Amino acid sequence: MSSTFSLDPGADQLAVRDWLHGFAADVIRPAAAEWDEREETPWPVIQEAAKLGIYSLDFYAQQYFDPSGVGIPIAMEELFWGDAGIGLSIVGTTLAAVAVLANGTDEQIGTWTPQMFGTPDDVKVAAFCSSEPDAGSDVGALRTRAVYDEAKDEWVLNGTKTWATNGGIAAVHVVVASVDPELGTRGHASFVVPQGTPGLSQGQKFKKHGIRASHTAEVVLDGVRVPGSCLLGGKEKLDERLARAREGVKRSGGRGNAAMATFEASRPAVGAQAIGIARAAYEVALDYARTREQFGRPIIDNQGVAFQLADMKTRIDAARLLVWRASWMAANNQPFTAAEGSMSKLYAGETAKFVTAQAMQILGGNGFTREYPVERMHRDSAIYTIFEGTSEIQRLVIARAISGMPIR
């Protein structure tokens, strides 16, 4: 590993951290309980973030291209320290933006990414639609089809997407579809579908256990027609890729891992969100344990309670080190030879669930009520072992990477 790796974020990053922490403490945290109960997208908070430049393409691009790699994890941790449901409403758009950045031409990036954010006076969000009712962990099983209509230079999309963050309310949907089902994941391509395109509609909106301020819904594609220019990367590149994949199929029997590599790169950012939740719950529990008295002394005087807090803090810091390492590696084009991205997301997600459960225990009966925020944080943490690859799938990816074996 190069000597440029540093655990000192530097003055610029610390200034960004403090700025975001202020926004999280003053704007996000006070609004958290209300939007959790309403189970609605917190548009006024997103608008406030947009006015300050926190919800903007420029801000994320700056953090994304920061060579230290820690710009994105620092931003995620602070926003999600404020609240995970609102945090995801603010950063959910970046999932779709990253898909366009990773797969689109310069022209497509220039056209679509600004539309995903809108303007401070007219904020917009974007959605990334990969998961389907029968294709969650098994991305290769997706059934949404994209068929090219050469006469009109249009793609026709049919299928049902599910669990889409911002699905149906987005100005821009990025849809992953199969153009050649025989090639599995290597026959997939991504398409931009602009708001108002006939045939795209929102299915059911889910009522969730946690991150309830974040909108999650089905997206139905019924004969959706988009121009050829909406195929990310363009037709020529797709045809070359499919030809190479067909060659590969003949040689290796059809396994591909390009999509896996993309997911792997975005996982540290999701891990950082989980750390934000964990740190928030830990702070509430530490504070409570110092002030709550039983048997004539603060409950933290009991080793049983103090050791719980010691474990919580240790796991949070360990998770952050894994996330920062993976983020630095990704920013410096170091290959994830041991699935370090998955390691970071796995450990951070499990840590958030562990820490928030311990925090509830330390708060006793109060922890079980909505009078205190740890109950919400505990509910919010549960998604971090499920989305962006479940914990089991992360273990599968790590196990395959370290063993070189096709572990199932």
Ligand X SMILES: Cc1cc2nc3c(=O)[nH]c(=O)nc-3n(C[C@H](O)[C@H](O)[C@H](O)COP(=O)(O)OP(=O)(O)OC[C@H]3O[C@@H](n4cnc5c(N)ncnc54)[C@H](O)[C@@H]3O)c2cc1C
Using CB under 6 A, list all residues that contact ligand X: 95, 128-131, 136-137, 163-165, 208, 211, 216, 383, 386-388, 390, 392-393, 396
Which of residues 24 and 139 has its CB atom nearest to ligand X in the complex?
139
- What's the min distance (Å) between Cβ of 408 and ligand X? 6
Which of residues 143 and 292 has its CB atom nearest to ligand X in the complex?
143
| Cα 169 from Cα 219, distance rounded (Å) | 10
- What's the min distance (Å) between Cβ of 308 and ligand X? 27
Catalytic residue among 34, 340, 388, 392: 388
Residue nearest to ligand X (CB): 136
Which of residues 165 and 178 has its CB atom nearest to ligand X in the complex?
165
Which of residues 48 and 132 has its CB atom nearest to ligand X in the complex?
132
- What's the min distance (Å) between Cβ of 95 and ligand X? 6
Which of residues 284 and 377 has its CB atom nearest to ligand X in the complex?
377
- What's the min distance (Å) between Cβ of 208 and ligand X? 6
Task: Answer yes or no: 218 catalytic.
Answer: no
- What's the min distance (Å) between Cβ of 240 and ligand X? 26
Residues annotated as catalytic are: 388
